[in-house]
């Protein structure tokens, strides 16, 4: 049942996210609006569009959420594998399960590490510039050639 729903949700999200689906919806609304004078803009005429859009919206919320959940899980799994296979710290694996407070603490740690890396990079850049300036000052001026 779960696999069948996943296939259905994927297919539906592909179809409903297409430009053709958008054009079909626009056409349906235009046909509905054009039929207003025929039905004398009655309450039943209004109820048709209200009921239709409500039902479609209600069902699409669940399909979209299902698709989003699967996509998020796939991305997290891929990121976890990249972390596991690299020299990155393993503490980042599974962080999507942490509380907001734990995520904030981990973010603050990453920010401190980033700030430290930037400080070291700036320091190395300054040292390199200083060495280059020293080398330029230490070089003797080129001699002018005597004209023959």
Say whether pLDDT at 41 is over 90. yes
Say whether pLDDT at 24 is over 90. yes
Q: Where does the pLDDT of residue 51 fall: very low under 50, low under 70, confident under 90, or very high at 90 and above?
A: very high
81 touches 91 (CB < 8 A): no
pTM over 0.85: no
**What integer pLDDT is reported at residue 36 of this predicted model?**
95
**What integer pLDDT is reported at residue 147 of this predicted model?**
63
Q: For all residues of the chain together, what is the average pLDDT?
A: 88
21-26 contacts: CB < 8 A, separation 24 or more? none
Closest CA to 78 of 87, 67, 70: 70
Burial 9-45 (b: 16+ CB within 10 A, else e): beebbeebeeeeeeeeeeeeeeebeeeeeeeeeeeeb
């Amino acid at each position: 049942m779960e696999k069948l729903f996943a296939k259905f949700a994927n297919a539906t999200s592909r179809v409903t996210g297409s430009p053709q689906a958008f054009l079909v919806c626009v056409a349906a609304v235009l046909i509905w609006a054009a039929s207003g004078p025929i039905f004398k803009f009655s309450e039943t005429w209004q109820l048709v569009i209200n009921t239709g859009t409500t039902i479609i919206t209600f069902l699409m919320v669940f399909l979209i959420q299902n698709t989003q959940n699967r996509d998020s899980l796939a991305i997290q799994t891929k990121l976890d594998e990249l972390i596991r296979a690299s020299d990155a710290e393993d503490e980042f694996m599974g962080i999507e399960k942490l509380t907001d407070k734990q995520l904030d603490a981990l973010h603050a740690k990453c920010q401190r590490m980033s700030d430290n890396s930037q400080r070291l990079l700036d320091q190395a850049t300054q040292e390199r510039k200083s060495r280059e300036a020293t080398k330029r000052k230490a070089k003797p001026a080129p001699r002018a050639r005597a004209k023959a």
